[in-house]
Chain A
Amino acid sequence: MKYMLLIHSGRAIRDQFNKLSEVEQKQLLDEYFAISQEPGVLDGNQLHLDDTATTVRVQDGRTLTTDGPFIEMKEALGGYLLYEADNLDAAIELAARIPAARMGGAIEVRPVVER
């Protein structure tokens, strides 16, 4: 099965990260890199902070754009991983290894609809 791991890691975690020593920062980045290299990880990216977001709606054929994310959250979506795994347990285990999960963020695990 494929799972989308939505990494809720926003400004507060970014601030935390910036306060860390260079060595600690490198450790965290290494952890993210190691996770991205796990077998089954098909794709993954970090996103710019949610103040760069643009939200698009179409009403009566007109495209409406607004500045900012669809939903304001303390820890907004900060990245994602697409993970091919046997089952939810495997996806949960990978999610639990993502540093944001222990830094006050959260990982939402969503199964991908397969056709």
Chain B
Amino acid sequence: MIAALVGYLGDFDLAEEAAQDAFAAAAERWPRDGAPASPRAWLVTTARNRAIDRIRRDRTLAAKLRMLDSPKSAEDDSVESTFPDERLELIFTCCHPALALEAQVALTLRALGGLSTEEIARAFLVPASTMKRRLSRAKRKIRDAGIPFAVPAEHLLPERLAAVLAVVYLIFNAGYGGRVDLAAEAIWLGRALAELMPDEPEVHGLYALMLLNDARRDARIEEGELVLLADQDRSRWDAGETARGREALEHALALGGRGPYVIQAAIASVHMAEPRDWRQIAALYDELVRLTDSYVVALNRAIAVGEADGIEAGLALVDQLDRAGYQYFHSTRADFLRRLGRADEARVEYERALALTHTEYERRFLQRRAAEASR
């Protein structure tokens, strides 16, 4: 029987495995259904079929694992890639929650972004050998643990889509200062997702949010100093990106989107309008606080309320959010106190914020503000 199978399959190992499969099937079925009229023929046929299944499975698996290595071609600027049909499956595999977040990010950049292992390593400031190990371990887990190569079932989709969007947004936010333009990669991924999942408002919301933030990139730093939105040179905003961002936001809202990314994009969009409608911004933050229950969001809401209803009202909210030791709590409080003319208290808060900051831009910015408070 093995010989017959080796002849047919041309592979001894495979033939042996197939024969074992067939015997196992026989052991399960014959006692239940009775032995077939010609047991040998039954075994050979069953073994052949099992072998074909095995070959198919191995082939698709190998092909899929290869896809994790095949980057989009460098000159290919459009979203059309070498594997137009399975990019969505690929991104859900890369962003599977059974993989460590850092591995999800690296795999996504490697498989969909087409970055080299060295580029990814550089962007996240780890040695290339570390990144290589991280990627191979993730690929091995995908294979050995049976992480599916598929778009998740309907009931799992909201949670799994949120994980994908979080990875893309993390890539976007990691984009400052690195030698690799991760922000552009993230926007590219966002656009691909928007094309692949046209009915998901949050996908368009994230795409819009990234475009609107990226549009202001050049105006954010001037002569090495951080520039607040109100003081930014609007002519340096990227008009094309702004328009595309607003368009994506409109689209998300038309789909009935009210999720966290859509609301954040809406906030960014209102911020960029002139004059700024602080009351609307505060209302949007209200909604975002309800959705995310995030401290930072609550702090931003207090800032918006301070602008809409007066600094006193904003400061009262900040005081309720008391979190000593958190840099932005101190800097927000400092700013309100400075504007209320309570210079001494403001200086103390600026000092506290300064002691907590890690970036040079922020340090210089806070020092300037602290000096202004003293005048």
Contact = CB atoms under 8 A, between A and B. Distances in A.
Interface of A: 1, 3, 85-89, 91-92, 109, 111
A1 B142 CA distance: 13
Nearest to B156: A89
Nearest to A111: B145
13 contacts: A86-B146, A86-B148, A87-B148, A88-B98, A88-B145, A88-B146, A89-B147, A89-B150, A89-B156, A91-B146, A92-B98, A109-B145, A111-B145
Contacts of A89: 147-148, 150, 152-153, 156
B144 interface: yes
A58 B147 CA distance: 36
Interface residues of B, number: 11
Q: Which of A85, A88, A91 counts the most B-chain CB atoms under 10 A from its CB?
A: A88
A89 B148 CA distance: 7
Contacts of A109: 145
A92 B96 CA distance: 12
A23 B173 CA distance: 51
B325 to A, nearest CB: 30
Contacts of B96: 88
Contacts of A91: 146
Given A86-B146, A88-B98, A111-B145, 7 more contacts: A1-B146, A87-B146, A88-B145, A88-B148, A92-B98, A109-B145, A111-B144
Q: What are the 10 closest A-B residue pairs judged by CB atoms, nearest first?
A: A87-B148, A1-B146, A87-B146, A88-B146, A111-B145, A88-B147, A88-B145, A89-B148, A111-B144, A88-B98
Contacts of B152: 89
A111 B146 contact: yes
A84 to B, nearest CB: 11
A94 to B, nearest CB: 13
Contacts, number: 27
A42 to B, nearest CB: 12
Interface in B69-104: 96, 98
Contacts of A1: 146
B298 to A, nearest CB: 29
A86 B27 CA distance: 22
Interface in B115-172: 144-148, 150, 152-153, 156
Interface string B168-187: 00000000000000000000
A30 B109 CA distance: 45
B68 to A, nearest CB: 16
B323 to A, nearest CB: 29
Contacts of A88: 96, 98, 145-148
B17 to A, nearest CB: 8
A86 B148 CA distance: 8
Contacts of B147: 87-89
Contacts of B150: 87, 89
B11 to A, nearest CB: 16
Nearest to A93: B156
A14 to B, nearest CB: 29
Contacts of A87: 146-148, 150
Q: Which of A87, A88, A89, A111 has the most CB of B within 10 A?
A: A89
A17 to B, nearest CB: 29
A86 B98 CA distance: 16
A3 to B, nearest CB: 8
B283 to A, nearest CB: 37
B128 to A, nearest CB: 29
A56 to B, nearest CB: 28
Greatest chain B CB density within 10 A among A1, A3, A86, A111 is at A111
Contacts of A92: 98
Contacts of B144: 111
A63 to B, nearest CB: 32
A88 B149 CA distance: 10
Among B96, B146, B153, the most chain A Cβ lie within 10 Å of the Cβ of B146
A92 B163 CA distance: 16
A4 to B, nearest CB: 12
A103 B153 CA distance: 26
Residue of B96, B145, B147 with most partner-chain A CB within 10 A = B145
B211 to A, nearest CB: 32
A58 B372 CA distance: 74
A100 B3 CA distance: 50
Nearest to B96: A88
A73 B152 CA distance: 34
